[in-house]
Amino acid sequence: MEVFTANLTANGFSYFCVKIPSLIKTKDAIIAFGEGRIGSCADVAPTHLIYRMSHDQGGSWGEVNIFHQDGDNVIGNIAPVVLPNGLILAPFTKNNRLAMMSRSQDGGLTWETPETTPDLLKEDWIWVGYGPPASLVLKSGKVLIPGYHSTTDVSNSSSIGSGLTKGHIVVSEDNGLTFRLASTSFGNNFFVNELQAAQMSNGTVIINSRVLSSERVLSYSNDEGESFYSVRRPSTPLHETIQGCEGSFIRVDGTDRLLYSGVEGRIPARIFRENITLRESNDFGVTWTTRSIIDEGSSGYSALLNIDPDTVAVLYETSDCIKCPLVFLPTKIKFKKLII
């Protein structure tokens, strides 16, 4: 099922491409987010955060709505989360320089005017990102927002040019009324970025991160993201392409099964973004097995979502290209359900 396509026209704007999928489930709907880029697919192109809603478990999708846009600015890196009381928190960034926050009290039908959150940045952080694709509510009720930042001056806001990144954690202990920084630096030796969190039944928080290599890294915390006691590669590698790529990482509800969706590329070189695969771990991420191939073709960023005990959904970038360029250009964002 196609949710977003290239050359999409909506609300008086024409989007050259739509990238960076995110997926959440409310009481009444599934909401799919994407970054609509104007004029080109570049990370520095004017970008709107857009979304569509499905009220039939992804069978059909409503109109394209604008979550937030601000002229020629780059609005992106959304990492939304649905709280038990139904409130949706939606942290995101502006030009990868400002951290921002919006909320929805009505399941995503309307959104509060976004506010800047300067207290969630340190003075020497020049570049900042959240997620993607989502944040997490912990067993204690605390909200955990995974982020990353750089203190290196850069000439653009692309993830490749964002400098030598480190991870950080934002938390809320009052259902999204206020936020504070927890850990302000982890994964430094690996330059972690584009990361998602899962919490195990014993309370351990695991962060799955893109890094500057072809293998991903896991970071472990036993104090809800205040600090990390281990940062390491899995014994069975989680492969990505040589330039790295975002992936999605969740725990299956009611279990300690971990799922990861990401592009594997083609061995031995793993140069091109293709062959997006669902992987599974039953030992806290130490070893991984292949669960299924989501799409053998050209593919990119993804977002996983628990649907029911036997099903997850994935929202992912794909392309119709026959001879695909090294720099991946998505032509579609697709929604698919997977039996687990």
**pLDDT tens figures, 139-189:** 999 999 999 999 876 555 454 445 689 999 999 999 999 999 999 999 999
Torsion of CA 209, 212, 213, 218, to 10 degrees: -20
> What backbone torsions phi and psi does residue 264 show, to the nearest 5 degrees?
-95, -25
Q: Which of 66-80, 150-164, 234-248, 281-295 has the lowest mean pLDDT?
A: 150-164
pLDDT digits (tens, 9 = 90+) for 180-219: 999 999 999 999 999 999 999 999 999 999 998 889 999 9
Report the alpha-carbon angle 93-98-102, nearest 5: 50
CATH number, domain at 134? 2.120.10.10
* Integer angstrom CA distances of residue 59 from 1, 84, 119, 162, 166: 8, 25, 41, 37, 39
Q: What is the DSSP string of 200-254?
A: -TTS-EEEEEE-SSSB-EEEEESSTTS--SEEE--SS--B--TT----EEEEPTT
* Integer angstrom CA distances of residue 214 from 33, 229, 254: 27, 23, 31
Instruction: Give the residue-averaged pLDDT of 107-133.
Output: 96
Q: Which of 73-82, 139-148, 266-275 has the lowest mean pLDDT?
A: 266-275
pLDDT of 193 reads: 95
Residue 327 has pLDDT above 80, yes or no: no
pLDDT of 106 reads: 98
Mean pLDDT of the chain: 94
Of 310 and 242, more confident: 310
Of 267 and 284, more confident: 284
Range of the domain at 241: 2-339
On whether the CB atoms of residues 234 and 286 are closer than 8 A, the answer is yes
**Per-residue confidence band for 266, with pLDDT thresholds at 50, 70 and 90:** confident
* Integer angstrom CA distances of residue 292 from 209, 277, 289, 334: 21, 6, 9, 16
Tokens matching residue 14: 């024409």
Nearest to 315 by CA among 7, 22, 18, 15: 22
pLDDT of 322 reads: 73
Kindly state the DSSP code that residue 85 receives in the 8-state scheme.
T
pLDDT digits (tens, 9 = 90+) for 6-15: 999 999 999 9
Instruction: Provide the CB-side half-sphere exposure for 17 (13 A, CA).
Output: 19
Tokens matching residue 156: 């653009």
Number of domains in the chain: 1
On whether the CB atoms of residues 63 and 54 are closer than 8 A, the answer is no
